[in-house]
Amino acid sequence: MERSTSAMKQEEWIKNLKLAIIKEDIESIASLIKTLDPHQGKLEEIRALLQEAIKIVSSKKESIAQDIKKLQRASKYIK
């Protein structure tokens, strides 16, 4: 039995999201989220993956905020 093109696209989308999460590739995650079709199946799997993506983005955001604070402190000593 052949799978529909829609099902194959969905599986490819999920595979790409998993890879982006593993690589912690924020740009790819964002790009994939923009192409998310809320009417596709496997919503529980997609939901779980998106929750993981949110964790990664939040972690990166916190890390960047800490780096900015460090740079701000260092710049005080340079001036």
Q: Which pLDDT score, from 0 to 100, does residue 23 have?
A: 94
Number of CB atoms found within 10 A of residue 49's CB: 19
* CA 2 to each of CA 6, 7, 8, 12, 32: distance values in angstroms, whole numbers, following the listed order: 11, 10, 10, 16, 25
Per-residue pLDDT tens listing for the chain (79 residues): 456 777 778 899 999 999 999 999 999 999 999 998 877 778 889 899 999 999 999 999 999 999 999 999 888 888 6
Structural domain boundaries of the chain? 5-78
CB 46 within 8 A of CB 40: yes
pLDDT for the residue numbered 16: 95
pLDDT for res 19: 96
Question: What is the C-alpha R_g of the chain?
Answer: 18
Q: Which pLDDT score is estimated for 1?
A: 45
- Here the tokens at position 17 are 């999201």
